[in-house]
Structure 1
């Protein structure tokens, strides 16, 4: 899951494009007729003893531990208990956010930054459950590149990018916070940021500690990494969670509540039982060819780093799992607006930051 523009979910590249194509083909063959019909379509269970409401959940990239709670909820029967038959489908070419906005998918994995970017372009979508509670982005060079010792050394080097204004703003701020000018060249990533760096086409790029960071530790190449909060980037950029459309919330709030409650239960199970959840993800997403040891270590990184919240606070009830961090998100939105990273549907710069409180709701967590 090489870091991309957080508002370009289809550019996530921890898996080759051939796998994405495979999942897309599967989705087209088996799921397309179900898309966008959850509000009024009903399908029978295998036993025929009861009816379940058909729901489509869209991945935002290939299956990974960010999606794991949805796979657990499906495997454990939490969705069925809520009266739902959930299809997990591949990300659409236009992106999960656009698919949800257009009614092609009922729910998807995204994050508040993506929601804000689409909102300024006219989309009406909302985050209804936030899984990740703190940033996991890491900006790295190969450990073998001894010229780079801190972000100021990115000055004058080449950034392996997916072309977003957002990632440019983050890198510029990190360099300047470390005493550099914030000037760098760019090259567009092909299939893998690792490959782009290893082939000497770029000097540094973005990854995620909970996925590629694990990959680098287990399989190499070793990385030298820096995190955003340590170098002047405010707030929480990685507010990963579940989104739906304002229309679905308005027309069928009970459906949203059922989906959110079952999904929340799936993520809570995964957080408390990471090894078992890893086995479920590997089993339920066979075409992703995930290695069990790798997924287990990714989950261990998430749990040990308390990326989904403080387990003690979740247990004693002082923190509700899934709560949207609108304060952290707003700090990041304000930063992006200051850096002119937001553009409207006509590509004109939007100077006013979107309001996170208007783009997220915790009402379905209760």
Structure 2
């Protein structure tokens, strides 16, 4: 995976893996502007623009991609403007989006409930207010050319391309043991990208995402042989990607949170219903990422076909609200991590406390 991973502190598992494909296929010019984005976010978060709209900052959690697409659509389609908001989308800060929101540097950011849980244990004042992704998309893969790996048990005794996350170790150990292996493997720190680390022979397997790097592998190579967590004994949903804000913002300005969440919700709903148009909007609105339109369209098709944001039929008939935080599957994953002693406090000391999904996320601001 890429140097972008270094920009994301704390729990990196669910944030950095997506970046690998982007690092290889696209220019991540947005990363270079992180420091300037910090200052602009800090100065504009509580002010009003000359148009009378309230200025708000939304921070990326990595490079622009289809996880962020609903916010770009909401800005392009005028949903934020209709809500009285002037939203500035800014590059991820050096300390990470979660820390930026906790410190008041950004008003909102893309993250996931797993990260929120980890950061709150370390004292961060953040909460997830909308969950876009409803099921896991992580894939654990070897190059298809590596004929020695046919299932997770074959990871035993081989080398994992890692960023050092305790979560990754716990997940892989469970998958390997579920498949009949011992759960023992070596590790090497990822260099430029996971793809390159595997291709160089420095590692045998690594983590990717079906909706982004999996698409790249299918379209451009290298071909991968992949395995998913639910198929090999990992409970719940680790990939609860969504939007976060500061708990103080929720308390002091709930109307702002409601406006931002519901406008973003409309953006993601539009993207789910009109994936090709949304892909074009992302490419246009994030020129610094040099995204390829056919790639983004394929990523959105994968998301829609895989029902990653929920069942489109249920969203259409109103039986499911896109953006709903899932407290059940996220808690299953939290409990799994707790059982495997992966949680640490702000000093890096292991703790037995387990995050409670219902305490770190809320659905109160969603539109029905």
Q: TM-score range by the shorter chain?
A: over 0.9
Equivalents in 2 of 1:176, 1:30: separation in Å?
Answer: 44
Query: Tell me, what secondary structure is at the counterpart of 1:63?
Result: coil
Equivalents in 1 of 2:199, 2:37: separation in Å?
Answer: 38
Aligned residues: 359
Structure 1 pair 240–6 and aligned structure 2 pair: CA distance change class (3 A): farther
Structure 1 pair 319–148 and aligned structure 2 pair: CA distance change class (3 A): same
Which residue of 2 is the match for residue 14 of structure 1?
A: 21
* 1:143-165 deviation digits (Å, cap 9, x = unpaired): 00000000000000000011100
TM-score by length of 2: 0.94
TM-score by length of 1: 0.94
Equivalents in 1 of 2:10, 2:205: separation in Å?
Answer: 17
* 1:164-220 deviation digits (Å, cap 9, x = unpaired): 001111001100111111000001111211100000000000000000111000001
Q: Does 1:348 align with 2:349?
A: yes
Alignment map for 1:298-317 (pairs within 5 Å): 298-317=299-318
What is the CA-CA distance between 1:15 and the residue it aligns to? 3.0
* 1:273-320 deviation digits (Å, cap 9, x = unpaired): 000000000011111111100100000000000000001110111111
Alignment map for 1:175-254 (pairs within 5 Å): 175-254=176-255
8 Å Cα contact 1:6/1:113 also seen in 2: no
Equivalents in 2 of 1:33, 1:212: separation in Å?
Answer: 31
Which residue of 2 is the match for residue 90 of structure 1?
A: 91
Alignment map for 1:68-87 (pairs within 5 Å): 68-87=69-88
Query: Tell me, what secondary structure is at the counterpart of 2:129?
Result: strand
Once superposed, which parts of structure 1, at least 4 consecutive aligned residues long, lie more than 6 Å away?
1-6
8 Å Cα contact 2:38/2:105 also seen in 1: no
Alignment map for 1:317-336 (pairs within 5 Å): 317-336=318-337
Unaligned 5+ segments in structure 1 are: 46-50
What is the CA-CA distance between 1:10 and the residue it aligns to? 5.7
Equivalents in 2 of 1:193, 1:137: separation in Å?
Answer: 14
Unaligned 5+ segments in structure 2 are: none
Q: Does 1:42 align with 2:48?
A: yes
Equivalents in 2 of 1:31, 1:230: separation in Å?
Answer: 41
Equivalents in 1 of 2:222, 2:10: separation in Å?
Answer: 24
8 Å Cα contact 1:54/1:85 also seen in 2: yes
* 1:101-150 deviation digits (Å, cap 9, x = unpaired): 00011000000000001011111210000000000000000000000000
Query: Tell me, what secondary structure is at the counterpart of 1:14?
Result: helix
